[in-house]
Amino acid sequence: MRIVLAEDSVLLREGLIRLLQEAGHTVVAAVGHADEVLPAVLAHRPDLAVVDVRMPPTFTDDGLRAAVSIRREVPGTGVLVLSQYVEESYARDLLATPAHGTGTSRPGGVGYLLKDRVQDLDALSDAVERVAAGGSVLDPDVVAQLLVARQVADPLAVLTPREREVLGLMAEGRSNTAIAQRMVVTEGAVEKHISNLFMKLDLPSSSADHRRVLAVLTWLQGATG
């Protein structure tokens, strides 16, 4: 897999390069400034961009805004955002940004991972593979904080507690098999819950839409209250 890496810390950037290479990937470009991210992606057309949130010039949300630009301008490129902290709005903003454009058959997945996870090569590799394949990956801590942040006005009130649990695990990027193992139920039961929540969220079957991502998006939007 070809990856563009954006991280301003030289030590962490070199560490990530090593971890990604050990996992069998090729880092085609590694940049340390938010203004360099989109040009690098446009130049190399990677399968995935791994982007830090807080980068120069302002060290606030520069990396996030670069990630959103990739989603809008380079459809088909997976975007995995890294952050030191749980930034609720960052996760919602990134996932709420559609991958515009035509002319690509790649799905362009998206994810948000805490930097603590990158110490675990298996967790990092799993997130990289899933996002590059078009899936969505949210750090469990991000999911937990979004659940706490949800207020009274909940657009997901039509879902049962079990369906909410399934949707929360989907938001973490888990497969049906992994959800079944976590909930100690059969895959058939999980599939039934997913089918029901798709119907309740008015997400009919369509080859043009990734319903799992759309369902997660609805879940995240509900977290704003």
Average pLDDT over residues 51-66: 91
Compute the Cα dihedral for 123, 126, 129, 130 and give only its sign.
negative
Q: How far apart are the first and last CA of the chain?
A: 38
Residue 188's pLDDT band (cuts 50, 70, 90): very high
The whole-number pLDDT of residue 98 equals 64
Structural domains in the chain plus CATH codes: 2-139 (3.40.50.2300), 150-222 (1.10.10.10)
- Rounded Cα distance, 113 and 127, in Å: 8
Task: Write out pLDDT tens, residues 28-55.
Answer: 999 999 999 999 999 999 999 999 999 9
Which stretch, 50-64, 109-123, 141-155, has highest mean pLDDT? Answer: 50-64
Paired tokens of 160: 């049962």
- Rounded Cα distance, 48 and 128, in Å: 8
Strands (E), 115-178: 136-138
**Residue 139 pLDDT greater than 90, yes or no:** no
